[in-house]
Chain A
Amino acid sequence: MDILQIVANGVPAGMMYGLVALGIVLIHNGTNVVHFGYGEQITLSAYIVIVLQVIFHVPFWLACLVSIVLSALFGLVIYLGILGPLRRTPLIVQVIATLAIGLGIREGLRAFMGPDPWPFPAIVANKVYEVHGVFITTANIVVVTVSIAIAALLFLFFRLSRYGHAILAACESPRGASIVGISVKQVSAVIWVLASVLAAVAALLMAPVLTLSPDMGLIAIKGFCAAILGGFVSLPGAIVGGVLLGLIETAAGYYISTATKDMVAYAALIAMVIFMPQGLLGKRLIKKV
């Protein structure tokens, strides 16, 4: 193993973290809530595919599409039923609410689907290629391409489309946006739907690699670390943070030990918050006295 292999392993892993971070940052910037249950939404999406496929014998590609739609609906329900009404409550209440949603999904899945892992089919059959002594799997390639494609799509959507502008405006200044006729509630709903769709896509990429179990969502912690590394204020930052985390993690795993691999994410988070709370790409946070 050498630097190139670390990159070959670290970048795809990091892109996955970045995808998760993307959803988290989207929800945070749009509705000021850090969704601690986001990882579980991803898990739920994957389970929906499995249920459709195994129990209802729906073909895989259709199951994926239905999962995306159902996940979007689920996100909408969360916003309309829980986080929307809780908009004006103290932060601690909203944090607990998202934690409770995560807990409910995780334990509900454990109760109804069993605690054991389910095998999840990959979108593209997995093969290993060797390029100049570096091993790359199809999963790696798919993750990187899909992540970049999604990031590009989102970028175009926010920069070029009118509705994208509306969302950005609402995020920056809810009052200003509502004055010019943008419905903040509608924007928030759209953001939740968007993030839930992202979660469903992330599920399709992650479940084959991570093995599907009720606890798969705990990987979202890496997503939070990635979001903090990137600065929590920008979508490109989420991807950059994710890739950086993936690289640092893989390097630590190789050079130090596999045990430290998980610790690295936590340590990186704490270090960033202490030394550079605005993240790598974020603006300097001016904390009011």
Chain B
Amino acid sequence: MSGLLSLLDVTVRFGGLVAVNKVSIDVQEGTIHSLIGPNGAGKTTIINSVTGVYSPSGGAIYFDGRPLAGVAPHQICRRGLTRTFQNTELFGEMTVADNVRVGMHGTAEYGLVSAILRSRRCRIAEAKISERVGELLEIVNLADQRGTQARALPLAKMRRLELARGLAANPKMLLLDEPAAGLRASEIEEMNATLLMLRDKLGIAILLVDHVMPVVMGVSDRITVVNFGQKIAEGTPKDVQSNPAVIAAYLGH
């Protein structure tokens, strides 16, 4: 089992409660892998254990061949794994452009002293940053909102900004936490197109957690289904759609 991101028998316990029970997921490079399941199935817990919010009580998580255990969240980002958030943790008071710029903080090419003196090195780096911001905003179709305050954006645009921000960190893989929640049908189509473009043109792997089936079925190469903290099915969208255990999980109980 060797993907870009590998979860091997990961277990997460909170006191006596087992939230995630021996789940293994393999996300291959340059693919879109979705993680779905009913509410409370443990999806967010799994994501949180990948990004270092929770430490797994059992099992191991590898990214790009290296273990993620004990690695600080900001280091995880620098290794190439960036996460977006369910409740859009955008920097509301900052402009769209500045939000994206923060994503480039880790890869910046000038230090504190250069910043204070606004040296040539700093100005050149900032110009490059601005250029890249323009490129990323073009990718997510937000170029005309460069100077808008982030919290003034409508939901769909906020989600796109969240994507652009994540992309700014130059990730090998994106962890998207419910990027399609609350979107209208036309916006969902746009989201699908964007995700496919990220995979095809930029070669970025995506681990997608969502409830919105048109997105999940529309873009996934592989889907893992969890319920009550356990994996109950895995395969292509077609496999999963016709899987009786999956149908039972969603319709039953």
A contact set with B: CB distance below 8 Å: 288-289
B38 within 8 A of A: no
A255 to chain B, nearest CB (A): 43
- B59 contacts A by Cβ under 8 Å: no
Is residue B203 within 8 Å, beta carbon to beta carbon, of the partner chain?
A: no
The answer to whether B52 has its CB under 8 Å from any CB of chain A is: yes
- Interface residues of B, Cβ cutoff 8 Å to A: 52-53, 73
Q: Is the interface of A mostly helix, strand, loop or mixed?
A: loop
Q: In whole angstroms, how far apart are the Cα atoms of A289 and B49 in the complex?
A: 12
Q: A34 vs B73: C-alpha distance in the bound complex, in angstroms? A: 31
User: Chain A's nearest CB lies how many Å from the CB of B19?
Assistant: 15
Chain B: which residue is nearest A289 at the CB level? B53
User: How far does the alpha carbon of A288 sit from the alpha carbon of B89 in the complex, in Å?
Assistant: 15
What is the CB-to-nearest-CB distance from A101 to chain B, in angstroms, rounded to a whole number?
28
Question: What are 4 residue pairs bridging A and B, where the CB atoms are less than 8 Å apart in the complex?
Answer: A288-B53, A289-B52, A289-B53, A289-B73
Q: Which residue of B lies closest to A288 (CB)?
A: B53
Contacts of A288 in B (CB 8 A): 53
| Residues of A close to B53: CB separation below 8 A | 288-289
Complex CA–CA separation, A288 to B73 (angstroms): 12
- CB B84 to nearest CB in A, in angstroms, measures 16
Interchain nearest-CB distance for B77 vs A (Å)? 13
Chain B residues in 8 Å Cβ range of A289: 52-53, 73
Which residue on chain A has the smallest CB distance to residue B73? A289
4 closest A-B pairs by beta carbon, nearest first, are A289-B53, A289-B73, A289-B52, A288-B53
Instruction: Name the distance in Å between B54's Cβ and chain A's nearest Cβ.
Output: 9
> In whole angstroms, how far apart are the Cα atoms of A60 and B186 in the complex?
77
Measured between C-beta atoms, what is the minimum distance from B242 to chain A in Å? Answer: 39
- Residues of chain A within 8 A (CB-CB) of B52 are 289
Instruction: Return the chain A residue nearest B48 by Cβ.
Output: A289
Q: Could you tell me the distance in whole angstroms from the C-beta of A50 to the nearest C-beta in chain B?
A: 48
CB distance from B14 to the nearest CB of A (A): 11
| A residues in contact with B73, CB < 8 Å | 289
Chain B: minimal CB distance from A85 (Å): 22
How far is B52's CA from A289's CA once the two chains are assembled, in angstroms? 8
Nearest-neighbour CB distance to chain B for A284, whole angstroms, equals 13
How far, in whole Å, are A289 and B48 apart by their CA atoms in the complex? Answer: 10
A285 to chain B, nearest CB (A): 16
Minimum CB–CB distance for A249 against chain B, Å: 39
* Least distance between A265 CB and chain B CB atoms (Å): 35
> How many angstroms from the CA of A289 to the CA of B76 in the assembled complex?
13
- C-alpha gap A272/B73 in the complex (Å): 27
Q: Which residue of A lies closest to B51 (CB)?
A: A289
Give the Cβ gap from B76 to chain A, nearest Cβ, in Å: 11
User: Chain A nearest CB: distance from B17 CB in Å?
Assistant: 15
Among residues of A, the one whose C-beta sits closest to the C-beta of B53 is A289
In the complex, A289→B53 CA distance in Å?
Answer: 6
Shortest Cβ gap from A173 to chain B (Å): 18
Q: For the complex, give the distance between the alpha carbons of A289 and B73 in Å.
A: 9
Closest to B54 in A: A289
Cα A288 to Cα B52 in complex, Å, equals 11
For the complex, give the distance between the alpha carbons of A288 and B53 in Å.
8
Shortest A89–chain B CB gap in Å is 14
B72 to chain A: closest residue by CB: A289
